Amino acid sequence: MRTNTEATLESTRPLNPTPAVAPQKGRHRKPMAASKTPSSKASKRKRALVISVIVILILGVLAIGAYFVKQLIDSKYFFCTSSVTFIPIEKACDGVKDCSRGEDETSCVSHFKANTTFPVRLATAQHVLQVYRSSLGWRSVCSDDWTEQHTQTACTQLGYTYKPRSTSIPVTTLSSSLKVGPFAAVKPGTTATLIHQATVDLSVCKSGSVVSLSCSDCGVVGIQDRIVGGADAYIETWPWQVSLQEAGQHTCGGSLVSPRWVVTAAHCFSGSRKALTHWRVVSGRTYLTLTGGSYVDKIIVNGDYNAASNDYDIALMRLSSPITVGEYQRPVCLPPDAFNLAAGSSMAVTGWGSLHEDGKVSSSLQMAEVPLIDRATCSSSTEYGNMITPRMICAGFPQGGVDACQGDSGGPLVYLTSSKWNLVGVVSWGVGCARKEKPGVYSNVESMLNWIYTVIEKNP
């Protein structure tokens, strides 16, 4: 007889129970909830995309804001790393140590006078090698006993060196001033000695020829093709052109003369523009950009620079690390001594300066062709009178219309010879821009080669 409990259990059992099936590994029961529709998935993706875009925009705005805040701070203050404080920019490089460790007075523009003659140079358009001795002056170096090692040594003394080579030029083909000497020749076994110390004096060259040097690939460009009255230019045509930027603002132009040195104008560093940390050199760009660029570890102004007369208006900047020479970045050649360019010679001036007097700087590199003006004309009473010194040259048209302008200062005036561009002048000053009988005035690079070579040698 079954109990009531047993009867209850039996009544709940199916008559034909289905055998239990053991669950298989990896198989799961499908959820009973309805699957999401395609429209709801697309809506979620759209929301996620919008949120991502908003986040990116916010981050971009914050980054741009932070950049401009930094530029504003840099233009007004100097940061003391030792004490983590700011001081007014006017107090940097003023001769008083305002930072706890004095770093505000250690990273500043310096001044240098060349008191001695740099003893090696290239002369005339033939690039004749000459050495200097105080008792005899300049002497052309004969080809006698000259070797490839001497070529390397001489070019190294002259700065930027890349695949240097030498040729022999017959004395009879030299200019009249060089034909008669005096001459010098290297002593055997002096390949590693500085060239001016390795020579002896001669009255004539036994070989009948002198040494001509080509030290580098400076001034060479792959193609030839606003400045007021100018035209658009491309950096690959003028790869030595750089933008000098102080506190994030284009201030002056400059010219690469080696992978690490830039020639520019002394007046670019007037006023409070003396802290090295605020300067950057941007190279290899056709369009003016205010980001990136090379740091600077030396700015050396010619010690004879006179702000009142603009005389000796030249300076050198040393980059913290050398640029990589290529199609868009390449040094221009320093000119030989006694280049003797004739009045009317066509030259090129480049930069991002104003397109008209008192205008804004150009966003794109500009180029203009200007003729050299003879010194007598530029020094006449109708032009600049006695304001023109031997350290200056003039270029432009009597009627005006084409000229360098504000923002071009420090930039290059170049002349093409033997497929190489030579740095003839540095944009310095003028009355207005492109005015009639008021041409551009440029620092005469040839007259200050001694200073340039001496600075580079003393700051390797």
- The per-residue pLDDT for range 126-161, each reduced to its tens digit, is 999 999 998 889 999 999 999 999 999 999 999 999
> Tens of pLDDT along 38-60?
667 778 788 888 888 888 888 87
Whether residues 395 and 307 share a domain: the answer is no
For the segment 236-244, the average pLDDT, to the nearest whole number, is 97
Domain presence at residue 459: no
CB count within 10 Å of CB 356 equals: 13
Taking the C-alpha atoms of residue 185 and residue 206, their distance in angstroms, rounded to an integer, is 9
How far lies 45's CA from each of 42, 68, 243, 275, in Å? 5, 35, 46, 52
The more confident residue out of 346 and 290 is 346
CATH number at residue 101: 4.10.400.10
Question: Which residue carries 């029961």 as its tokens?
Answer: 29
Residue 76 CA, chain-centre distance (Å), reads: 25
Residue 159: partners with Cβ closer than 8 Å, 6 or more residues away: 215, 257, 258, 261, 334, 453, 456, 457
- The answer to whether residues 125 and 204 belong to one domain is yes
Residues 88 and 127 in one domain: no
Task: Judge whether 406 and 391 are in contact, CB under 8 Å.
Answer: no
Q: Which residues are catalytic?
A: 267, 313, 409
Cα-based angle 414, 416, 417 (whole degrees, multiple of 5): 135
Domain endpoint, select from 214, 229, 264? 214
Residues 192-206 have a mean pLDDT of 94
3-state SS assignment for residue 132: strand
Distance from C-alpha of 127 to C-alpha of 154, rounded to nearest angstrom: 12
- In this prediction, residue 4 has a pLDDT band, given cuts at 50, 70 and 90, of very low
**H or E stretch including 120?**
strand 120-123
Judged against a pLDDT cut of 90, whether residue 355 lies above it is answered with no
CATH code at 414?
2.40.10.10
pTM exceeds cut of 0.75: yes
Q: Is residue 184 part of a domain?
A: yes
Question: Do 438 and 361 lie in a common domain?
Answer: yes
Q: In total, how many domains does the chain have?
A: 4
Same-domain status, 246 and 186: no
- Average pLDDT, whole number, for the chain? 87
| Residue 42 maps to a domain | no
pLDDT over 90 at 69, yes or no: no
On whether both 178 and 241 belong to a single domain, the answer is no
Judge if 373 and 285 occupy the same domain: no
In the predicted structure, residue 90 carries a pLDDT above the cut 60: yes
pLDDT for residue 61 is more than 70:
yes
> What domain range includes position 73?
66-106
Which of 35-49, 226-240, 287-301, 374-388 is predicted with the least confidence, judged by mean pLDDT?
35-49
- Do 129 and 206 lie in one domain? The reply is yes
> 100 lies in a domain?
yes
**Phi, psi angles (nearest 5°) of residue 443:** -65, 135
Helix (H, G, I), strand (E, B) or coil at 141: strand
- Cα of first residue to Cα of last residue in the chain, in angstroms, is 117
379 & 418 share domain: yes
Confidence of residue 27 (pLDDT cuts 50, 70, 90): very low
| Residue 200 sits in the same domain as residue 251 | no
Shortest CA distance to 241 belongs to which of 311, 288, 275, 276? 288
Q: Is residue 331 part of a domain?
A: no
Q: Predicted confidence band at 271 (pLDDT cuts at 50, 70, 90)?
A: confident
